[in-house]
Amino acid sequence: MRRVMRFLVVLIVAVLAVLGAAVAVAPQAQAANTPQTLHFEYGPIHINTGQNIIQFSAGQVPKPTVDGWIVGIKPNLLLPDNSTPAVDIIHLHHAVWINLSRTDSTAGLPQRFFAAGEEKTALKLPGGYGYRYKASDNWLLDFMIHDLVATPFDVRISYDLSFIPDSSVTKPMTEVLPIWMDVQNGGNYPVFDVHRGSGTNGQYTYPDQAANPYGTGPAKNQHTMPTGGTLVAAAGHLHPGGLWNDLYVDRGGQSAHVFRSNAKYFEKAGPVSWDVTMGITKANWKVHVNAGDTLRTTVTYDSSARSWYETMGIMVLWFVPNMTTGLDPFAMTPADMAVRYTHGHLPENNNHGGKADPDLPNPTTLADGPPVTDIAITNYEFTPGDLDLATQVPTVLQGHSIHFTNTDAPTSGYGIWHSITACALPCNLTTGIAYPTANALIEFDSGQLGNFGVPTAGRLTWDTPTNLAPGTYSFWCRVHPFMRGAFRVLASP
């Protein structure tokens, strides 16, 4: 009996040892192709007071030192203390990661492989797929950091790469290629305006509902596939007011809707701010396309109560050439287009604005001021007419104009851009990510007054419309939303 017991003990110990060895080995097997998280930062970048210009990186953009596979990217913007700035103070209008060593799929440009705006959608490729990276690749950053206040900042663009070095690859990776889709693809500043009340039932889809958006040129929102293969991932980008980006496959006169990247707003005021996350494709989304198929993208904005200026509609796709698996575009169901999200509400979006501001009077209660023909914009103030200083409202006779001049900008070259954009009376609540907005019943907008190329209007002056009815009109600067003003149109005697 003792021998039997000793045998059983030895057997149990042996079994436990084997199981222990199996348990010890299992994590190593599971670790195959497990990505590392590599943190990179570009900067510091000095942002001047009120800055709102497009810039490009100088020198080498930080990136991995060994060959491998990029399977995810998470962007952010950082201050010197490593905090993320509040979006109503300074924000990342856009950043585009460009590989100068490769050619773009849809435009005569170097390869654009990732983009982010202040919605900060992260790239998450499905397991087993990756963007092939070479340490010899030459990267460029195209970025636009918007300073909304009269204070300079030093910031850094950060990006966490989910990266698998070649030395860690134990299972074959499938290379995916980026396909950049854009409703204004190829433009230096690919934007368009959405006017209040445009479209249908409070929604405006570009370019479908635009009047001749591309002139006599080709449709910029389309791309004909030179080879067949499978789309394995997609994500959209839009600006506040945007509702969704759509992707279609056109073939032989028929059109199939294959994905909608919808905007999920955390903003309590609705679809009006950067407090939003974009839906990306789920890991099992795969759509097979043929050579000769046309990919087409559109973007839809809420036009029910507001106008939106300099908006965008971009969708980046990831494609495996010659792959034969994937869903037939014309057999897809809504369930096949379900989305996932890469983040929730972000704390940098906590200041929504729209509360009572004791420093800003209601312009409708102020007395008539003297007639004016000119208003200067100087040191972030409308003179006369700035609500922050107003005890009366400057006036103009019906049928006449007020001439605005931005003196914060030089005749040509870099400066501080301002706009005169209509907002609903009284337009005197606190500034935040959701207030003010271009929600006036009577719409007007000057563009960004400056003469520096995009994004400026190419001029420093603007005149109010001559067809305004008698009444008080409030306005704000959409480049610097804390700037508010008003004028009053008087009936002709």
Q: To which residue do tokens 């490729």 refer? A: 125
Cα 425 to Cα 433: distance, rounded to the nearest angstrom: 18
Helix (H, G, I), strand (E, B) or coil at 420: coil
Could you tell me if 339 and 282 are in contact, meaning their C-beta atoms sit under 8 angstroms apart?
yes
Residue ranges per structural domain of the chain = 30-349, 363-490
**Dihedral sign computed on CA atoms, order 472, 477, 478, 480:** negative
The 10s digit of each residue's pLDDT in 382-423 is 999 999 999 999 999 999 999 999 999 999 999 999 999 999
Please tell me the predicted confidence (pLDDT) of residue 28: 39
Please tell me the predicted confidence (pLDDT) of residue 32: 67
By the 10 Å C-beta count (0-12 exposed, 13-18 middle, 19+ buried), 448 is classed as buried
By the 10 Å C-beta count (0-12 exposed, 13-18 middle, 19+ buried), 177 is classed as middle
Name the residue among 254, 325, 313, 345 with its Cα closest to residue 285: 325
* Positions in the chain short of pLDDT 50: 1-30
Helix (H, G, I), strand (E, B) or coil at 29: helix
119-144 b/e (C-beta count within 10 Å ≥ 16 → b): bbbbbbbbeebbbbbeeebebebbbb
Cα 241 to Cα 219: distance, rounded to the nearest angstrom: 24
Please tell me the predicted confidence (pLDDT) of residue 7: 35
Please tell me the predicted confidence (pLDDT) of residue 31: 53
Position 446: which residue type?
Answer: S
pTM comes to 0.92
Please tell me the predicted confidence (pLDDT) of residue 187: 87
Q: How many CB atoms are closer than 10 A to CB 400?
A: 16
Q: How many CB atoms are closer than 10 A to CB 51?
A: 22
Name the residue among 340, 251, 326, 264 with its Cα closest to residue 291: 251
Could you tell me if 308 and 199 are in contact, meaning their C-beta atoms sit under 8 angstroms apart?
no
Q: What's the N-to-C CA distance of the chain in angstroms?
A: 121
CATH superfamily, with its number, for domain 363-490: Cupredoxins -  blue copper proteins (2.60.40.420)
Please tell me the predicted confidence (pLDDT) of residue 215: 95
Could you tell me if 72 and 142 are in contact, meaning their C-beta atoms sit under 8 angstroms apart?
no
